[in-house]
Amino acid sequence: MFNAIVVSQHEDRSSEATLSRLAPDALPPGDVVVRVAWSTLNYKDALAITGKGPVIRRFPMVPGIDLAGTVEQSDDPAWQPGDRVLINGWGIGESHWGGLAQMARVRSEWLTALPRGLDLRQTMAIGTAGYTAMLSLMALERHGLEPGRGDVLVTGANGGVGSVAIMLLASRGYRVVASTGRPEERQHLESLGASEILPREPLSKPGRPLEETRWAAVIDSVGSHTLANACAQTQSDGLVAACGLAQGMDFPATVAPFILRGVSLLGINSVFRPHAERTEAWSRLAAELDLERLERTTTDIGLSQAIDAASGLLAGSVRGRLVVDVNR
């Protein structure tokens, strides 16, 4: 038997998350069984647990878009019992049971070997949020971003993606401007590497099609008016990586920044990426991320606390990353 958070749907289509005790034969199909050690609580997980977003594709569902643990059983010769692995993306926690459980049965092609230099908990402190931040940085740099180009704006700076993005950018010599709705977190954001702190309100309100230019590049995890305003303030031939929707899925913008200033909007899909790109991203995270800074923005909770913590995450009251000890 093992513990898991299970989200079930009622006849009225409302959903409910409960901490449940399950038998191994309840696990969905797959060719590898993983004994999970750590997971995370992401924005998408919080939407799934609370039912406030259409994240779950089938019920019942074990949420958790990240997991790290040890292979317990494998029908694929590429993976052996005892191998330490992680999964992020591939639809786990949405269409296939995810990481907020002590056991998972998954498809072998979803597995990534534990990156050298990181332990299981550290990979989950990074998680999909940090992985997405690295994918965003890689996309910006593929399109020519260099530290000398100018300031880089990071929106949602206190969240998981934003926190890691600040650390990664600062470590590579970029001047980072952090936008946050919590000005009391100024000192914390500066400790991560932010050079300037902006209140989120001006960015989050409806703006004009073009504004005074400020940013060489943007990493945006917020969407909606924030993304539109960030584009409107981006320099000629600047770059904007869009990787989240905390404010909303809408994009109330015009084509003006793109056809009058040559701004490029880069969409970041962290769920389905080829293994070569995943390996590069995780290798760079292991090499470039300041683990001491990461620890300062990471909070451990137990599996039994994850349901209550989901509401706080959606309310924006959580700083950085929540790592879930599934055995607690």
- Tens digits of per-residue pLDDT, 111-126? 999 999 999 999 999 9
Scan for tokens 């320099």, then name that residue.
235
pLDDT at 57: 93
- Tens digits of per-residue pLDDT, 291-300? 999 998 899 9
pLDDT at 316: 82
> In the chain, which segments carry CATH 3.40.50.720?
129-267
Hey, what's the torsion of the CAs at 55, 57, 59, 65, to 10 degrees? Answer: -50
- Tens digits of per-residue pLDDT, 226-243? 999 999 999 999 999 999
For residue 182, pLDDT over 90 is answered with no
Measured between alpha carbons, how far is 266 from 271 in angstroms, rounded to an integer? Answer: 15
Which candidate, 239, 223, 261, 256, places its Cα nearest to that of 150? 239
Task: Tell me the fold of 2-114+297-325.
Answer: Quinone Oxidoreductase; Chain A, domain 1 (3.90.180)
Residue 309 pLDDT grade (very low, low, confident, very high; cuts 50, 70, 90): very high
Residue 81 pLDDT grade (very low, low, confident, very high; cuts 50, 70, 90): very high
Percent of the chain residues past pLDDT 70, beyond the cut:
100
- Tens digits of per-residue pLDDT, 23-59? 999 999 999 999 999 999 999 999 999 999 899 999 9
For residue 260, pLDDT over 90 is answered with yes
> In the chain, which segments carry CATH 3.90.180.10?
2-114+297-325
Structure tokens given for 231: 């584009």
Which pTM was predicted? 0.92
Mean pLDDT value of segment 1-24:
95
Mean pLDDT value of segment 165-193:
95
CATH top-level class of 129-267: alpha beta
